[in-house]
Amino acid sequence: MFKILLTILITFNLLITIINCDNNLTLRFERASQVYDENENTQEFENRIVGGEPTNVKTYPFIVSIFLRFTNFHHCGGSYILPRFVLTAAHCLVSKGYHWVAESPWAYVIFAGISDLHYTPRFQISNVEATYPHSGYNALTLVNDIALVKMHKPLQVSEYVNYAPLPIEPNENFYNESQICTVIGWGRTSTTEFIASDVLNHARVPLISSSECKKYYPHDFGNDQICAGRQEGGVDACQGDSGGPLVCNGILVGIVSWGRGCADRNSPGVYARVDYYLDWINETATINGGVSIYPNFFHLIFLYVFFFFIHY
């Protein structure tokens, strides 16, 4: 029943949007794959939970699903960070490289409050008004793989939908090998399956120091990225998790970006480092009608108290 309702809602939104959109709009889709050639220093990246377990959106009320409107399929994850704004990966939105993407914001729909993509009584939906990928994004290396999505309307805050707590300031010392974090998404749950999961999953992954990560990816790992995963493999983000959150101690610290395969040995996942981009996020949001990400003291206390009670 929910699947039928979901299809009707998306189809209705599509008809309304088509009436108001440019008739010359074209859509471009390119299947993501992944190959690594160390001699040629070239990569193709998977838009990449393996080794995790099902979870409930009430535990991570900031996570959203970015649907492709005309397919009715989950495309990427994202995090609700400000009224009308979702944080995701640039490669989920930019029509370059090797990714399933569309050329216009109207092709995307935001769903929130969802644990199961095929059934939930409390979902919220919003069309996308604009997308803002980082101007320095490189589709070949995935440097600056970060973007903001502006929705037509804000989501209503509830126990199923809420804002992601962001880092207060850049802090490289925060990323140490003793830190255990959580990656969340609707991506593939097995390297032998080729479809994303209907159910929201999460997995615990240890952070890997920058110096150690550079041993795995000597040509491609930058200061704007962090690594997480197990040396022996077995747990990782995978296809369909792109743009979703990496959370450490209740704080959104990373955005699922890329990796070599899924959950392979000596192949940790790479994430865009959120604290590195705080000023970019703030500037991009505020000049496009949003509020500042830098909260006042009382707002900050509220967020931390809220997540303390959720997790403890």
Residue with tokens 């979702």, as numbered in its chain: 86
Separation of alpha carbons 211 and 104, rounded Å: 38
Q: What is the pLDDT of residue 190?
A: 63
Angle among Cα 149, 154, 160 to the nearest 5 degrees reads: 100
Rounded to two decimals, the pTM is 0.78
List, in order, residues 6 or more apart from 40 with CB less than 8 Å away: none
Contact assessment for residue 244 and residue 147, using Cβ atoms and an 8 Å cutoff: no
Angle among Cα 307, 310, 312 to the nearest 5 degrees reads: 100
Domains of the chain: 56-164+277-288 (2.40.10.10), 172-275 (2.40.10.10)
Q: What is the pLDDT of residue 220?
A: 79
Q: Look up residue 309 and give its two tokens.
A: 């009670």
Q: Is 7 helix (H, G, I), strand (E, B) or coil?
A: helix
What does each C-alpha distance from 80 to 74, 112, 140, 207, 257 come to in angstroms? 16, 9, 27, 23, 17
In 10 A of CB 3, how many CB atoms? 12
Residue 24 has pLDDT above 50, yes or no: no
Q: Look up residue 217 and give its two tokens.
A: 């990816």
User: In DSSP terms, which residues pair with 207 in a beta bridge?
Assistant: 228
In the chain, the percentage of residues whose pLDDT exceeds 70 is 69
Asked if 91 is an active-site residue, the reply is yes
Residue 226 has pLDDT above 60, yes or no: yes
Catalytic residue among 79, 242, 257, 267: 242
Instruction: Work out the average pLDDT over 297-305.
Output: 61
Amino acid in the structure at residue 231: Q
Select the more confidently predicted residue: 4 or 140: 140
Catalytic residue among 126, 145, 241, 275: 145
In the chain, the percentage of residues whose pLDDT exceeds 90 is 46
Residue with tokens 């793989």, as numbered in its chain: 145
pLDDT digits (tens, 9 = 90+) for 32-78: 333 223 333 334 444 446 767 899 999 999 999 999 988 888 999 99
Q: What is the pLDDT of residue 72?
A: 82
User: In DSSP terms, which residues pair with 130 in a beta bridge?
Assistant: 150
Instruction: Work out the average pLDDT over 163-184.
Output: 84
Amino acid in the structure at residue 83: P
Q: How many residues does the chain have?
A: 312
Indicate the average pLDDT of the chain. 78
Catalytic residue among 74, 75, 91, 202: 91
Asked if 299 is an active-site residue, the reply is no
- For the chain, the straight-line distance linking the first and the last C-alpha, in angstroms and rounded, comes to 35
Contact assessment for residue 85 and residue 148, using Cβ atoms and an 8 Å cutoff: yes
DSSP 217: S
Q: Which of 74, 84, 109 is nearest to 242 (CA)?
A: 74
Instruction: Work out the average pLDDT over 162-173.
Output: 88
Q: What is the pLDDT of residue 139?
A: 87
Separation of alpha carbons 269 and 121, rounded Å: 33
Asked if 224 is an active-site residue, the reply is no
Q: What is the pLDDT of residue 33?
A: 30
Q: Look up residue 76 and give its two tokens.
A: 């990427």
3-state SS, one letter per residue, for 88-126: ECHHHCCCCCCCECCCCHHHEEEEECCCECCECCCCEEE
Confidence class for position 182, pLDDT limits 50, 70, 90:
very high
